[in-house]
Amino acid sequence: MKIKTLLFGLIAMLFLISACVTPPQAPEEKKAPAVKKKLTIEEQEKKALEIFNSILNFSEGTDNRAAVLPKMEALYEEIIETCPDVPLVEESYWRVITINVDEYKPPRIEKGEKLYQDFLKRYPESPLKIYMEQSFGQFYYANKMWDKLLRFFTPNVKKFVATGKLDNSYQMFMYSEAKFNLGDIAEAEKGYRIVTEFFPKSKEGGISKNRLEEISKSKKQVPKGSPTGGRDVRTFQMVADKT
C-alpha cells in the first residue's frame, strides 16, 4: 500500500513538472524591409525645393555658420538620395562638396573626392562641374599636392588630345602648373601655349603668357651645360593666390 501511494505521488509530481515546462516556440520570421516607393518627378521637385529653402533660411539666420554645416550637409545629401531626377540635385552635389573641401576645418577632402566621383558618373556633362574642379584645384594647389593636381586634371587633357576641344582654360592651366612644379617644364610650356592660344583673354591666358616669358628669360640666364638644362624652376613665383 505504501509503495502504491509512493508511486502515485511520483507520477503526480512528474505531471506537475511537465505542465510547468514551456514548450519551445518557433522563431519569428524576419520581415523583409519595406521597399521605399520612388517619388515622382513632381514630388521630387517639391521636396527638393522645400529642403533647399529650409537650408537657405536657417543658414542665413545664424551668426555661426560652422555650427550648422553638419545639418546643411545632411540635408543636401537627402536631396541627392531622394530626388535624383531633378536639377537641384546637381547643385546639391556642388554645395556639399564645397562644404567638405572649402568650409570644414580641417577639410574632409577624401569625402569630397568620393562625392565628386559619384557626381561625374551621374552627371558627366553638368555645367556645374567647373565649380567643383576649381574647389579641388585650389585645395591641391594651396597645399602643394602637385601629383594629385596632375591626376585630377589629366583626364581633361586626354580629352583635349583626343578631340582637340577644351571645356575651359582652368583645366589646362592647372595641369600645366602641376607639370611645372613637378619639374616637367617642357610639358608645362606646351600647356601654357595651348591656354594662350585657345583662351588669350582669360585670366589663365594672361598668367600663362607671363609664365612663358619667365621661362624664356630663365633659359637665357642659365649657362649652357647647367644641370637644370636651362630651366631654373626656383626663379618662378607661385601664383596660387592669383588663380
Q: CB-hemisphere CA count at 13 Å for 163? A: 9
- Among 74-83, 88-97, 132-141, 231-240, name the one with the lowest average pLDDT: 231-240
**Mean confidence (pLDDT) of the chain:** 84
Among the residue ranges 19-33, 95-109, 150-164, the one predicted with the least confidence is: 19-33
- Residue-level pLDDT at 223: 61
Does residue 64 surpass a pLDDT of 60? yes
What is the amino acid identity at position 183?
G
- Tell me: the pLDDT tens digits for 126-149? 999 999 999 999 999 999 999 999
Give yes or no for residue 70 having a pLDDT over 60: yes
Each residue's pLDDT tens digit, 165-212: 888 999 999 999 999 999 999 999 999 999 999 999 999 999 999 999
Q: What is the pLDDT of residue 225?
A: 56
Residue 3 pLDDT more than 80?
A: no
Residue 127: per-residue pLDDT: 94
Residue 1 pLDDT more than 70? no
Grid coordinates 594647389 are at which residue? Answer: 141
The answer to whether the CB of 192 falls within 8 A of the CB of 208 is yes
Looking at the predicted structure, is the pLDDT value of residue 22 above 60? no
Instruction: Report the amino acid identity of residue 235.
Output: T
Category of 219 on φ-ψ map: left (φ > 0), alpha (ψ -120 to 50) or beta: alpha
> Which whole-number Å values give the CA distances from 38 to 10, 33, 35, 85, 197, in the listed order?
66, 15, 9, 11, 48
Nearest to 93 by CA among 126, 50, 57: 126
**What is the rounded CA–CA span in Å between residue 73 and residue 75?**
6
* pLDDT over 80 at 35, yes or no: no
> In the chain, pLDDT over 90 holds for what percent of residues?
69
pTM reported for the whole predicted model = 0.75
CA-to-CA separations, 110 to 39, 71, 99, 141, in angstroms, rounded:
30, 19, 12, 16
Write down the pLDDT at residue 26: 52
- 45 by Cβ neighbours in 10 Å (0-12 / 13-18 / 19+) ranks as middle
**Could you give the CA distance from residue 144 to residue 208 in angstroms, rounded to a whole number?**
19
Does residue 27 have a pLDDT over 90?
no
Which spans in the chain are helix H? 2-20, 41-60, 65-82, 88-98, 109-122, 129-142, 146-163, 169-181, 185-198, 203-221
Q: Is the pLDDT of residue 40 over 60?
A: yes
Residues 141 and 174: beta-carbon distance below 8 Å: yes
Answer yes or no: is pLDDT of 7 > 80. no
Q: How many percent of the chain have pLDDT more than 70?
A: 76
* CB neighbours of residue 208 within 10 Å: 27
Half-sphere exposure of 102 (CA within 13 A, CB side): 15
d(CA 135, CA 113) in angstroms, rounded, equals 11
